[in-house]
Amino acid sequence: MSMKNYDYQYEELLSEVRDFGRVKSDRTGTGTRSVFGHQMRFDLTDSFPLITTKKVHLQSVITELLWFLRGDTNVKFLQDNDCRIWNEWADKEGDLGPVYGKQWRSWDIGGGFAIDQIKGAIELLQNDPDSRRIIVSAWNVADLQKMALMPCHVMFQFYTEELSDDERDAYAAKHPGQKVPERRLSCQLYQRSADLFLGVPFNIASYSLLTLMMAEQVGMAPGEFIWTGGDCHVYSTHFAQVDEQISRAAPCDYPTMKLVNKPASIFEYTHENFVLEGYDPAPAIKAKVAV
């Protein structure tokens, strides 16, 4: 667990792609600079990796994650909670086809049966925490053509490890009065297509938050969130915004995220369960999403 409370990983990746990325065409016809294959690691033990060189709208991050966990695929819930990030892909009824929530919660296996991958992951974490099969996938090949947008963040895997005696002592010192967990939970995401300026800050925050929630539900300490990107790109329409962001002062310390009033299940969290402290970002930078 080597990461500090602050780091330059995200900003360094932006700079690398801006300066050395290959010019590539893309599905939207916008054009990008791109590199293939990159990894960032974020320590969740003491901080929450919400980018500080521009403000990230955390409420939208939370709303989208809760929407995924509901198994929802219509934008009404998002819009009712002032989150409009999926509007461009929805049909006139607000439907998106069998996107993330459908695959996470109700992967169709035929005959009227479906698999709830989130429940399955929790059961494995509780009963077989050393399993190498604690994986959730959104890349359902049979459903891809029915989706308004094929999954960009395609699969994630959980990994647990026992805490050493020294690590348990350190945890007890930081969390007086709390039960000391036996294990630590980490998560790695593979993102096949990574819109670095607009999408990736959301994705980092979303899956870090999911890791905290899963850890709380199964009685483990948070470990790391590991982001692995495939096609890591900056759209040509975002070059000016990336230049502005990189020119800003060095990143501030990341904030902390507290989970309060633990609900009975992973599916019962609301916005009120999350308390962000110490977030002091630079102003937001607006940009249009490439559709």
State how far the Cα of 188 lies from the Cα of 101, in Å rounded to an integer. Answer: 18
Catalytic residue (one of 83, 152, 187, 232): 152
Q: How many CB atoms lie within 10 A of CB 194?
A: 23
Structure tokens at 163: 């805490």
Q: Are 238 and 287 in contact (CB under 8 A)?
A: yes
State how far the Cα of 31 lies from the Cα of 26, in Å rounded to an integer. Answer: 6
Q: Is 232 among the catalytic positions?
A: no
Q: Are 227 and 207 in contact (CB under 8 A)?
A: yes
Q: Are 222 and 212 in contact (CB under 8 A)?
A: yes
Give the length of the chain: 291
Q: Which residues have a catalytic role annotated?
A: 152
